[in-house]
Amino acid sequence: MKRTLTYTSLTSIAILVAMLSSCTHQIEIDYKSVEKQWVVEANLSDEGTLVRVSKTVDMNDTVRQLTPEQLQDVQVSVYDDGGASETLLFDEKDGMFHGTAIKAAEGRTYRVVFTEESEHSATSNVMAATELVNAKWQWIKMFNSKLLLFKFSVKDIPNESTFFRYRIYRNGELYKWTVFRDKGYENMNVVVNVVCMSEEQMKKDDPDDDDVLHDGDEIHLEVETINRRTYDYLHILKSMSNSGANPVSMFDGALGYLAVYVPVKYDCVFQKSDISGQ
């Protein structure tokens, strides 16, 4: 038997749907405050040591960095496996600890010690440096738009699992960074495609859009071979940056990582006319 819905039935269904859709329940989330932890971001290269010290923040915290006064009792030192040591100096201009006496060399092992009321340390070794094969700008089509890639490749370290970090600076400020590995490129050139901006972004040229590049921008690329523990920390840090979660630390008793490396570097000046694939 064929059934039809009457006007009354349709009206009743509409009222029921409206009632269900209008039922809302306000959920209040209680962000519980926890004891703050120290965070150490240590980088030791062939130019010296650079360490940033901070503390974790709660969800409702508005102040993210410690003042120089809060860091006055903090001491940071670096040691190499040959017995040399250096106490780093704090620079109020950038809020970081600097050292130039001890520099990373391939095959060596280093330890960074951070001391406040107690001592925390991390140890890392220098991996074999990679080589830059090429670097270029390239447009690629993606659906109905075009994306600008900064495409570069580096040599894999033969016959071993290799882990890398790249950092791209624009006019001296960090522009893009992430970590990657040689999986799928073992004993080959490892190809990296960095998505910079879309053609639409370039045409719009929004001054508040941090991805937009302009003619004359000075680009500096560094690619570092890092060990597995450093890679794991930075990989988790990057993938969980929007969640507020903390990765597994390399420092005992504090959060943080120690990256030790001899980087390969590349410099260029961005020009739209140099982009291939247009």
The predicted-structure confidence for 131-182, as pLDDT tens digits, reads as follows 999 999 999 998 889 999 999 999 999 999 999 999 999 999 999 999 999 9
Which range in 19-23, 77-81, 247-251 is most confidently predicted, on average pLDDT?
77-81
Range of the domain at 187: 132-228+264-274
- Is residue 255, in this structure, part of any structural domain at all? no
What's the total number of domains in the chain? 1
Q: Is residue 142 part of a domain?
A: yes
Which tokens in the block code for residue 159? 């016959």
In a domain, 224, yes or no: yes
Question: Would you say residue 183 has pLDDT above 80?
Answer: yes
What was the pLDDT predicted at 153? 98
Q: CATH number, domain at 171?
A: 2.60.40
pLDDT band at 10 (very low <50, low <70, confident <90, very high): very low
Please give the model's pTM, rounded to 2 decimal places: 0.82
Assess if residue 184 is contained within a domain: yes
* Residue bearing the bigger pLDDT, 117 or 6: 117
Distance CA 163, CA 129 (A): 11
Supply the pLDDT for residue 3.
47
Mean pLDDT is lowest, of 11-20, 152-161, 245-254, 268-277, for 11-20
pLDDT given at position 247 = 78
Residue 23 resides in a domain = no
Q: Is residue 4 part of a domain?
A: no
**Residue 149 lies inside a defined structural domain of this protein:** yes
Three-state SS string over the chain comes to: CCCCCCHHHHHHHHHHHHHHHCCCCCCCCCCCCCCCCEEEEEEEECCEEEEEEEECCCCCCCCCCCCHHHHCCCEEEEEECCCCEEECEEECCCCEEEECCCCCCCCCEEEEEEECCCEEEEEEECCCCCCEEEEEEEEEEECCEEEEEEEEEEECCCCCCCEEEEEEEECCEEEEEEEEECCCCCCCEEEEEEEEEEHHHHHHCCCCCCCCCCCCCEEEEEEEEECHHHHHHHHHHHHCCCCCCCCCCCCCCCEEEEEECCCEEEEEECCHHHCECC
Instruction: Give the pLDDT band (50/70/90) at residue 36.
Output: confident
Q: Is 203 inside any structural domain?
A: yes
Q: What is the pLDDT of residue 37?
A: 86
Of all residues in the chain, the percent with pLDDT exceeding 90 is 71
